[in-house]
Amino acid sequence: MIAAMKNQWALPAYSLCLVGAATLLYAQGERGTITGTVSDSTGAVIAEANAAVRNVATNVTQRTQSNSSGL
């Protein structure tokens, strides 16, 4: 009887562990966010400035342009 009760909880317990592990692995992904304001040396924002960021490990470049607020 006790063995049957232990087996009853085995599958849900293992499933919960797998879901937890998958969540942790998902958090290790290679992504991020770069934020900021484009401004000149006087602190004035620069609208429609072109910006590029390159991942030196993969040589992938992401390009963007600031909006009218320099964001």
CA-CA distance, 48 to 38, in Å (whole number)?
9
Number of domain units in the chain: 1
Reported as a pLDDT band with limits 50, 70 and 90, residue 1 is very low
Q: 56 lies in a domain?
A: yes
**Bridging pattern class, strands 50-55 and 60-65:** antiparallel
The angle at the Cα of 13, spanning 10 to 14, to the nearest 5 degrees, equals 85
Nearest to 49 by CA among 30, 65, 29: 65
Per-residue model confidence as pLDDT tens digits over 4-48:
455 666 666 666 656 666 666 655 556 778 888 888 899 898 899
Q: 59 lies in a domain?
A: yes
DSSP state of 6: H
Q: 33 lies in a domain?
A: no
Q: 65 lies in a domain?
A: yes
pTM score, two decimals? 0.49
- Give the domain extent around 50: 39-71
Q: 48 lies in a domain?
A: yes
List the beta strands (DSSP E) in the chain: 50-55, 60-65
Q: 29 lies in a domain?
A: no
